[in-house]
Amino acid sequence: MKWTFEQLKTFKVVADRGTMTAAAEALGFTPGAVSQQMAALQAAVPRPIFARDGRRVVLTDAGVTLLHHATTLLEAERKAEAALSGPQSEQRSVVTVGVFGSAAVSAMQPAIERLRATAPHVAIQAVEVDVEYMPQAIMSDQIEIALGLNYDDAPQPPLRGVVTEVLYREPFLMVLPPAAVPLTADKRALVEYANATEWVLPPIETYYGRACRFACARAGIEPRVQHTVTDTAVSIALAESGVGITLATTLMMGLRPTKSPIATLPGNSHRSIVAIARSAALEKDSVRAVRDALTQSFSPLASE
């Protein structure tokens, strides 16, 4: 059935006023224009919707049914127009954000607070995604924006139509066994110690595992990996217990604070927290608001 909202609006006025002439006066149309609209509407409906009662028109059973549904449709249209033309605060949007451990702990709560203050109509729905698969999750529209990672020594390849923005950079740190306290200030001694000591690192098959090994190579270290551990908190705990050396960053240690001696890994290797989104997604005000909130969440950390 092919009818228009304009025809349904006119139909409702005709039903309320009882005559084509009265409806025309109410709508500011000519009686002929109203008659043409009702003829077109009748042609789109398989059963008669009007019956004559002298000069008046009354609705048939089919007309009553059509009026009921037309009223519902017109009210829905009115609400849609009001929502889209009204204040932005009335247009609530939920943005799905891909997150991983250390970045989520550091950024999500501040970002949510900032959105409440600057864009209360926008809400975040956090979705945990493996960092290695974050770009694919963006490309397959599982999430709209993501907190991802990039490493100086293992950069992610660019993806067509995807925008990556660096939010925060932090150096690699060595979490050392307690006995290594005297070495933290002596870079040469630290490298020698690192080459002679066992390590706790993630599997080389993982993105982070590869990045760790590249960073060690830049520092002149060939780690003797004795323990293969993916979980950051477990790796730090093992280093703290004296089992070996592991790598971490300041944000990562937010998940598992430690009293172990800490030293910056020689070689100036960093990891970057990045915001990843399709350029098309950033056309949405809501997605841009979330990206800006995430950016601001990391600003205090960057200035420390």
Quick one: 80 and 100 in the same domain? Answer: no
**What's the confidence (pLDDT) of residue 175?**
96
What's the rounded mean pLDDT across residues 177-201?
A: 87
- DSSP state, 50? E
Quick one: 18 and 76 in the same domain? Answer: yes
Report the distance separating Cα 174 and Cα 168, nearest Å. Answer: 19
**What's the confidence (pLDDT) of residue 49?**
94
Per-residue pLDDT for 78 more than 90?
no
Position 164 in a domain: yes
**What's the confidence (pLDDT) of residue 88?**
53
Quick one: 291 and 243 in the same domain? Answer: no
CATH code of the domain in which 263 resides: 3.40.190.10
Of 40, 57, 85, the last residue of a domain is 85
Question: What is the pLDDT confidence band of residue 86, given thresholds at 50, 70 and 90?
Answer: low
Quick one: 189 and 239 in the same domain? Answer: yes
- 3-state secondary structure (DSSP) of residue 103: helix
Position 203 in a domain: yes
Position 12 in a domain: yes
Higher model confidence: residue 126 or residue 89? 126
Position 273 in a domain: no
Quick one: 198 and 77 in the same domain? Answer: no
What's the rounded mean pLDDT across residues 175-204?
A: 89
Quick one: 194 and 224 in the same domain? Answer: yes
User: Tell me: the pLDDT tens digits for 17-58?
Assistant: 999 999 999 999 999 999 999 999 999 999 999 998 888 899
Quick one: 122 and 197 in the same domain? Answer: no
Of 85, 113, 142, the last residue of a domain is 85
**What's the confidence (pLDDT) of residue 80?**
78
Report the distance separating Cα 190 and Cα 178, nearest Å. Answer: 13
Quick one: 151 and 286 in the same domain? Answer: yes
Quick one: 123 and 154 in the same domain? Answer: yes
Quick one: 184 and 261 in the same domain? Answer: yes
Of 51, 85, 119, the last residue of a domain is 85
> Please, are residues 45 and 62 in contact by the beta-carbon 8 Å criterion?
yes
User: Tell me: the pLDDT tens digits for 249-296?
Assistant: 999 998 889 999 999 999 999 999 999 999 999 999 999 999 999 999
Position 275 in a domain: no
Query: What is the phi/psi pair of residue 199, to 5°?
Result: -125, 160
Query: What is the phi/psi pair of residue 203, to 5°?
Result: -60, 145
> Please, are residues 203 and 231 in contact by the beta-carbon 8 Å criterion?
no
Quick one: 187 and 239 in the same domain? Answer: yes
**What's the confidence (pLDDT) of residue 2?**
81
Provide, rounded to the nearest whole percent, the portion of the chain with pLDDT above 70: 94
Domain count, the chain: 3
Residue 9 sits in which domain range? 5-85
CATH code of the domain in which 49 resides: 1.10.10.10
Quick one: 9 and 61 in the same domain? Answer: yes
The amino acid occupying position 197 is T
User: Tell me: the pLDDT tens digits for 208-241?
Assistant: 999 999 999 999 999 999 999 999 999 999 999 9
Question: What is the pLDDT confidence band of residue 304, given thresholds at 50, 70 and 90?
Answer: low
Position 274 in a domain: no
Question: What is the pLDDT confidence band of residue 87, given thresholds at 50, 70 and 90?
Answer: low
What's the rounded mean pLDDT across residues 60-74?
A: 93
